[in-house]
Structure 1
């Protein structure tokens, strides 16, 4: 394999991808470097409400559209349930699961299905912090 050629691997990652920022770009580009196909599971509005007690700022169809527009993303789907991650890994034929290191260890039980990699988060960037900052300016 020549140095510019990507490994023939299918990579998958999951997230809400709300209030899209440089941290999202960084993890997606780094994930794509690991293979030749990147699939992104976007948390549904309902799933996000169940996880975080609030709905995303941007509706799921808008978040999907944003991700589909990126050169590094090959496929996007709506993640309806956290309990279906193993099924999503199988359905999308994932060789590698990439998550931010704020989830370190939480997906290790999928190592029998695929390689699991945790990337460091982008320093000083957080969707929650951005939302809180905007809200404090409004208040």
Structure 2
């Protein structure tokens, strides 16, 4: 059986950076499983709800050719369980998280991929807010 790659994210206001990291993650294995943060988890992490609802964000990610399976990430504390449940061989996260997920090296390989330059959801939202003032 081939290698399963797992990654996590909110994937709100889906942009080219999201697509690129998912494509690069998929290229590391034979199957890509993506945990999309629930609306509640996103509020807990960032103090705001996503622009797009959980079901819509999941549908967008699930519709990508490089993604094989999508599930709802309900808790940051359950990452190890998600890795085990989905039998992941590789955990991929953006390099803005370097070192933060090394504890999972006991369960699988951990790879930090570079972010796409000059794009972030936070910056997009700030630009939209500024344009609407």
Pick the TM interval, shorter chain.
Answer: over 0.9
Match of 1:124 in 2: 118
Partner secondary structure for residue 116 of structure 1: strand
Q: Structure 2 stretches of 5 or more lacking a match?
A: none
Match of 1:8 in 2: 2
Q: Which runs of 4+ in 1 moved over 4 A?
A: none
Write out per-residue CA displacement over residues 51-107 of structure 1, whole angstroms, 9 at most, x where no aligned residue. Answer: 000000000000000011100000000000000000000000000000000110000
| Number of aligned positions between the proteins | 133
Give the alignment's TM-score, normalised by structure 1.
Answer: 0.94
CA distance in 2, matches of 1:40, 1:57: 19
Q: After superposition, where does 1:89-128 map in structure 2 within 5 Å?
A: 89-128=83-122
CA distance in 1, matches of 2:44, 2:123: 19
Task: Choose the corresponding residue for 2:30, options 25, 33, 36.
Answer: 36
Q: Structure 1 stretches of 5 or more lacking a match?
A: 1-6
Task: Choose the corresponding residue for 2:12, options 18, 22, 31.
Answer: 18
Give the alignment's TM-score, normalised by structure 2.
Answer: 0.99
Q: Tell me by how many angstroms 1:8 deviates.
A: 1.6
Write out per-residue CA displacement over residues 6-58 of structure 1, whole angstroms, 9 at most, x where no aligned residue. Answer: x9200000000000000001000000001110000000000000000000000
Match of 1:138 in 2: 132
CA distance in 2, matches of 1:72, 1:91: 20
Q: Tell me by how many angstroms 1:132 deviates.
A: 0.7
